[in-house]
Structure 1
Amino acid sequence: MSLEVPRPIDPSLHPLVTGNYRLATPAIEALYELVTRCLRYRIPGALIYGPPRIGKTRAIEYVRLLLARQHPRMSSYHAQCEHKPRHAEGPFFANLLEAVGDHAPHAGTSAAKRSRLLLRIREAAARSGSGTVLLFCDESQRYNENEYEWLRDVHDALDRQQIKLFTFLVGQQELLAQKTALQVAGKTQIVARLMVEELAFYGIRNAEDVATCLNGYDQTAYPEGSHWSFTRFYIPQAFDAGYRLVADSGTLWQAFEAAHHKASLPGSLEIPMIRIVKDVSDKSPF
């Protein structure tokens, strides 16, 4: 493809080249609907589970960006739960302090870290003028019962200060087993705070899901507010003539199905979002 049609920006700066963009999948849309439902009905916690490398972390990033647009007065944080040989209180609160932007998350005793975490969240709520805070805990199947109890304590402490914390535990399928084990053990206070709702996260499972993603390339504009959709930026003449990527969703899905069968892979076909992004980006003419 030639560069005869002038573009509004240098092609090397386009989000498809830099990788700095997010597009919705049906599963991401379901996650956003879950979050908004929890906010609407004051449900304090939910768990979102799915296989590894399916796009859960990207989904958190997308939902937080959308929340910042739709609910600018709400604060949201993304904590990346770490694997720890010892489940100690200090590292747990240091991890959350890092997520909320504390300048020295590892400083102080466990009690000092806990107090500072509550202070940072209160400060963020005061700055935004809202008493609502969202916390996404990524890879939270790494938590044990004590860490869930500490997180519940944070909920209770903030609640006493008129701040509503909504927690979304995102991780692998073990999360569901952890919820069941807590229920069997009678730890209903943890489940009632952190694990009320459930959502099974998934990848691209059919041509309709592919169409949802490709429609994002056809509709998303960059620079924002311009008429230069991602598709038009790369194939402007075809786009102006009426072509849209979404028209090829069935063809793309059939190609993935053929590759899946040729490789004799077990189970039904399910594609992580990153794979769709890579396949489209690899066809870039720049």
Structure 2
Amino acid sequence: MYSAKEAVSANNISEQFISQMTIRYLTSRKLVFPTKSILDEERRINSWLGIGACGSITYGRARIGKTVCMNYVAESIRNQYGSREMVIIWNVTDHPETERNFYASILMAMGYECPRYSTALILKERVLNELILRAHETPFKKAVMFIDEAWKLREKDFYWLMDLYNNLSGKDIQLSVFMYGTRELKDLKHSFKLQGKDQIVGRFMINESQFFGIQDPKELQFCMASVDKLHVCMTDYEILSDGLVDFYFPYADGKTFFDISNDFWEAFQSVRIQKRIAAEDIPMKYFIDSLVICLNMHGKLGNSPIAFPTRKELESCVALSGYGESDDEYTK
């Protein structure tokens, strides 16, 4: 494994390039800190999947890490069942409420192109056949669908989803649908209940959970301990031997990110009080963004390099991250 110094010499690259690639990795979906909320969600989903539950809803504020959690759990299921194909991730976008669009969107989520002139019936058959094939990838005959931004689904979408479920059930295939979204997803369930849409609620929305960001100092300590294990990287995220502290703060005198966990927590609490933020948990996005700002500004290549961050610098980085600038931070 190269050190950063060796990589610069051997590959004709600069330390600035290594820093930029490292920051790119830190802000990519490849990096996941398995927080308590993520691990709790993984246990719940595995439990529901194990008993053949039809599905669930998971809701929470924006930017707290729901999509990262969803991808983490999806990968966990793929590894557990030994099949990548049995798990489909469908990112719902705004769409006209037509049967053809519904099936076309699922096909595209599976990685297929949708023939322009195919009818809804033909697309439905393709989706069913593909789900059956994928379910038979394991002896358990299960197909799993994760739906992100599920609050964008309309009433008819749920009835078409129910039709898929019934068709698969008739062939002894279990389809489980796990939906993720903001508070609007919870509101959608409530709306269906008020309208007496018990079939939809009973089939896909009985199980529910609320997702949170970093909830207490211990969780932040865990994240910071994980940061201490990270290394800088270069092209294609090739890992180098230098840790983040070694590279960005060479005069840290043995200090680690874990050592400043409490300062980081207090920095968030201070900004929270200043901005009068009601929500107590810290969205993962602002944790990552604050860390990246700190590395960029106060690391050895930054405009304001220091030996190692203190509470003062951390609070400034939290404020610069945009924490508290979104309206949904003012509701729990």
Whether the aligned pair in 2 keeps the contact of 1:179 and 1:195 (CA below 8 Å) is: yes
SS in 2 for 1:78: strand
Per-residue Cα deviation, 1:185-211 (whole angstroms, up to 9, x for no partner): 333222222112111112223322212
Partner of 2:174: 164
Within-5 A mapping of 1:125-204: 125-128=135-138, 130-204=140-214
- 2:67 is aligned, of 25, 36, 57, to 57
Partner of 2:31: 22
Whole-Å Cα distance in 2 between the matches of residues 79 and 158 of structure 1?
Answer: 18
SS in 2 for 1:83: coil
Of all paired residues, the percent bearing the same amino acid is 22
SS in 1 for 2:136: helix
SS in 2 for 1:203: coil
Whole-Å Cα distance in 2 between the matches of residues 214 and 273 of structure 1?
Answer: 12
Whether the aligned pair in 1 keeps the contact of 2:245 and 2:257 (CA below 8 Å) is: no
Alpha-carbon RMSD: 3.3
The structure with higher relative contact order (CA 8 Å, sep 6+) is 1
SS in 2 for 1:135: strand
Within-5 A mapping of 1:42-121: 42-73=52-83, 75-84=86-95, 86-104=96-114, 107-121=117-131
SS in 1 for 2:37: helix
Cα distance, 1:161–1:139 mapped onto 2, change above 3 Å? same
SS in 1 for 2:57: strand
Larger of the two Rg values belongs to structure: 2
Bigger mean CA offset, 205-214 vs 37-46: 205-214
Partner of 1:270: 281
Cα distance, 1:130–1:240 mapped onto 2, change above 3 Å? farther
Q: By how many angstroms is 1:5 displaced?
A: 8.2
> So what's the TM-score if we normalise by structure 2?
0.72
Structure 1 unmatched ranges of 5 or more: none
Structure 2 unmatched ranges of 5 or more: 302-332
Whether the aligned pair in 1 keeps the contact of 2:232 and 2:244 (CA below 8 Å) is: no
Bigger mean CA offset, 227-236 vs 104-113: 227-236
Q: By how many angstroms is 1:233 displaced?
A: 6.5
Whole-Å Cα distance in 2 between the matches of residues 29 and 53 of structure 1?
Answer: 18
Whole-Å Cα distance in 1 between the matches of residues 82 and 231 of structure 2?
Answer: 22
Which amino acid counterpart does residue 154 of structure 1 have in structure 2?
A: L
